[in-house]
Amino acid sequence: MCLGIVAAACTPDLRLGRNAAPPEVETWIVSRDPRVASAVRAPTAPALAVRASGSATDPEVPPLAHTRITATVVGPITTIERTKAYVTPHAHAEAFVSFTPPGAPARQDYLVRLPRRTVVILVRDPAEARDLAHTAPHATLLDAGADGRVTVPAGTIASTSAELTVETTGLVPWRDGAYELTVPRVPEGDVTLAVDAYGPGPIVVVNSPSHAIDATPDSVEHLRVAVREPATLRDDDFVLRYRVDPADRPGAIVVESDGAEQVVALLVHPLETGHEPVAASDVTVDWNGAPVTDVRPAEIGRMTAGTPLVVLARARGAVSGPIVVRARVGRETRTITLEPSDVAPATGFHALASLWARSRGVVASTR
């Protein structure tokens, strides 16, 4: 699911009450040997590991009681949160975030929230990890273990129960005429899953080849999806397919405020002719005078068949559109006019700064 344009979301959790202080935010850059990572047969997702305070034993992952998964997708962009509730064996314990990253993709970024603590973990190959550490002087550089395992200290827990929330941001691939979101199964404990799907544009197909679902439309461009029998999420990966007809609305502009500036994304659904995906060449963007900088990718040139286009930029000032994308398809030139999306979530969707930061090879600033 995660492609090379994805970056870490570094937003602290501020849902602590009016008088509570925001949690501490730390950034850890993990250097891992790609040869070791590619040899790992059973990668593990970030999990809570604990040991009794003052103990020198290896931390262990306690029993998982419940996992709540929420996903927000805007066209090909997705943010997934997994909140895991654990029953810990110690009333006072040292906490760690423990996982073994897979061999691919080479870049893996996690935002992990614990009680009163937020940890940003950026996994990179060694050379890039060192370079990234230079851009983030307050980050800590950590080597993965010889077995590929990552163990990040995360403070103390004074309870026999704890929650850990892991957030990831990525791009959803387009397969056989639709976006296809895949969420790995959760083999232990109870599990629930909910998806908010936003076009942009009318969603004309939504189904799951893996599970029975209930899809509730808020509008033609926004669906809420739930798994009918959540217990089945323990057995199989969840796959959701959704299609926005590019002939109806080829794409949109999505904007996210990032302090004094904005992060702008141009989303163009895969180009089609007669419902068949087509490649394009000579792809250009006319920003219509919009005050944008740091456009990523700086040059596009081509779109392979069945691939959505995501162009990211920063803007100091309003970006109101229209913005025009032109592409040569065969002997014709297609002109795609993009306007701001009026259905993409205005709050709770901070994927754009994350995507832009990774494309730049920097650490996104916390807010």
Q: pLDDT, tens digit, for every residue of 240-286?
A: 999 998 888 999 998 887 667 888 899 999 999 988 999 999 999 99
Question: What was the pLDDT predicted at 345?
Answer: 80
Residues 108, 261, 313: CA angle, nearest 5 degrees? 55
Please name each of the domains of the chain with its CATH number. 1-66+84-168 (no CATH), 173-245 (no CATH), 251-341 (2.60.40.1230)
Residue type, 46: P
| Model confidence pLDDT, tens digit, residues 217-239 | 999 999 999 999 999 999 999 99
Average pLDDT over the chain reads: 86
Q: Vertex 357, ends 354 and 363: CA angle to 5°?
A: 100
Terminal C-alpha separation, the chain: 26
* Tens digit of each residue's pLDDT (9 = 90 or more) over 314-325: 888 888 879 999
Residue 8 pLDDT more than 50?
A: no
pLDDT tens digits for range 11-65 = 322 222 323 334 468 899 999 999 999 999 889 999 999 999 989 899 999 999 9
pLDDT tens-place string over residues 90-124: 888 999 999 999 888 888 889 999 877 899 999 99
Cβ-Cβ contacts under 8 Å for 295 (sequence gap 6 or more): 285, 311, 312, 313
One-letter identity of residue 133: A
275-333: per-residue pLDDT in tens?
899 999 999 999 999 889 989 888 898 999 999 999 999 888 888 879 999 999 999 99
CA torsion 352→358→363→367, rounded to 10°? 10
